[in-house]
Amino acid sequence: MTHELRIAVATDPGLVREHNEDSVYVRADLQAVADGMGGHEHGELASAIAVDVLANWQGDLGPAVAEIARRLDDEAPQGTGTTLTAMRWEGLAFQLAHVGDSRAYVLREGELRQLSHDHTMVQALVDAGRLTPEEAAGHPRRAYVLRALQSGNSHEPDLSWHQAHLDDRYLLCSDGLTDYTDLRDVHEILMSTEDGTEAAWQLIALANGNGGPDNITCVITDVVRQNKKWWQR
């Protein structure tokens, strides 16, 4: 059945940080969120390099991530880095590339499920059975990233393929959303707000309503029947 992707983007520096170190890239077959690390100028540079590579890339995301790592080594100060979570589409199938703690979710038949796996200290403790997910959500070091694309020390991404369904809704987001919101509230907004752009800005308002201590970026991709209006989902 013929389908199309409807893509919406929202990004905001939040209420505390002066600069937005997040970068975002979208086109019909590729969506990506990168969250820079290393101070405002360096973090902005690292995430910008990531999306610049993707903007000029066609094909498999594995070599694209390797090219981002090479560019970081050549152009960014030592220790500068970025997360990356990206989806590349081929029909209703998509490749997911992920490194760091930005996230990918799918909303399908009312259930919100995380597709990516955080590369963080607290997630490693959860995986080892030393923390519960509830304890991890409020842990003071939840933002400590174990794997990232970093000048002089890049890590391999997780690469996987997934099959989308009609009426799926996908969310890519930086940790400025997930670290400062209740996932139940995120779920409710994605369920109740049909228009993707409106939903993305509601998610940013949700994080800012909890203090907005970090940059926030959201990309929402709806898989719909071609020529179907958003209010007919």
User: Looking at residues 181-207, what average pLDDT do you find?
Assistant: 98
pLDDT number for residue 153: 87
User: Looking at residues 88-103, what average pLDDT do you find?
Assistant: 98
pLDDT number for residue 139: 84
Q: What percent of the chain has pLDDT over 70?
A: 96
- Position 72 pLDDT exceeds 80: yes
- Position 211 pLDDT exceeds 70: yes
pLDDT category at 79 given cuts 50, 70, 90 is: confident
- Position 231 pLDDT exceeds 80: no
Q: Contact 168/182 with Cβ under 8 angstroms?
A: no
User: Looking at residues 208-213, what average pLDDT do you find?
Assistant: 97
The neighbouring-strand residues paired with 224 are 4
Q: What is the β-pairing status of strands 22-27 and 30-37?
A: antiparallel
Q: How many helices (H) and strands (E) does the chain have?
A: 7, 12
pLDDT tens digits for range 28-60:
999 999 999 987 578 999 999 999 999 999 999
Domains of the chain: 3-232 (3.60.40.10)
Q: Phi, psi (5° rounding) for residue 183? A: -60, -25
